[in-house]
Structure 1
């Protein structure tokens, strides 16, 4: 099978750009930026596949070592995350309850994520930085109350997410996890967008998380409690999805919090999230340099 095109947001010499990733990167923003300033506008125009095809024969403009990856969709209107979406994750709670009838959801802010190859930042307020490897879908065609039968038609692209979490801060209050999910640069999205063209890309693919080369999470999307179709349908019931929205679809069992004793990420660790047909998202860990 031919490799699917990969479109990334990146910065070069401090300037935000987007391009097609091959052995180097084709700077598409230099060619199409007046029409589509970022990948968000490309998504809204439904032009990801067309743009990738047009750029396939173009020469690379930058070496990959000369660019810095950014989160692929800049300033998305919404980043919505699904919790407890694999059977073993539900069993981790040991509360005797069956899998819920509806998805558990929470919101993250774009600033809480960084790009591929950049460090996740452990804040001074807590050492309990944890990993969660997930597949994320990017909405291409907006809508409200989208039927499950039509849901995949609204997906423009796939990417990966390390939905990094400050564990003790998700328990600071009774009913929410917002604080522990939104420390700056504690998670990552990327490395790129893979245009979504058929259900086979996500129907039953392997998702794996490794820390320093050790497999910590491993499962398949075919085992998700809530399918990609159901997720899009459910979320669009209460909010209008728009092009560029990112939905992070849940993590398998095996996060550091579930070890006895828990194993938290520390500076120097390397976390890799990998999924078939999408790619590999890699980040190191560093302590935040806090300057009041």
Structure 2
């Protein structure tokens, strides 16, 4: 079993020596949603490429920064740039940003991502609150880091009912339509085939993506209130008639950035 505390001890010590405060909330920004961090003027930023031993994010839309900001009298860590399996990294690498949050004392975490729509009633630009995850194709890797018993025993109260209720209240107050659904994890690097999407639909999946699920499990295991919001940036293969591309993901996320910002900020205010 891989011990993340031992593996990343030096990184945690390096960061801990320079951060301006210990954050209480963490928000991980998904593909195309990193611009949310630009809305904060007074922020303390650590480029991850300046942290010895920190893996490099290679995906467009994931710049690689840790931002420490204050909003509505709350101390927040914004992770701008996550790490993915399809970049060639191991699960322990992909969990590093969430591990940092846990070691900094974060109590609540919202994970965001860009996802393909499987539910035919969704359209690109929708925001989806995750009600559950399907992650059978990553169980072995998660067990190597978290322990199989921990994964199963923690599933019952997950995602956080408290945080999901907060996000739904925020959407209502901001009059932002918010879908709810099941997120299916795919390792990548290629997009799913139409047959795989048909299988996902038969399993009652609503969206599919290549991140988040392992981060959510680990955050929950570390005692954080954990929730997830997906931006539906395209319809999945076999549903969409267009060829899937990462540029489509970036372009659609740009179109929804205003309502995404309002939803996250209102959620922070209501916590």
Q: Same fold (TM over 0.5)?
A: no
Q: Which has the larger radius of gyration?
A: 1
TM-score, normalised with respect to structure 1: 0.29
Higher helix share: 2
Higher strand share: 1
TM-score, normalised with respect to structure 2: 0.31
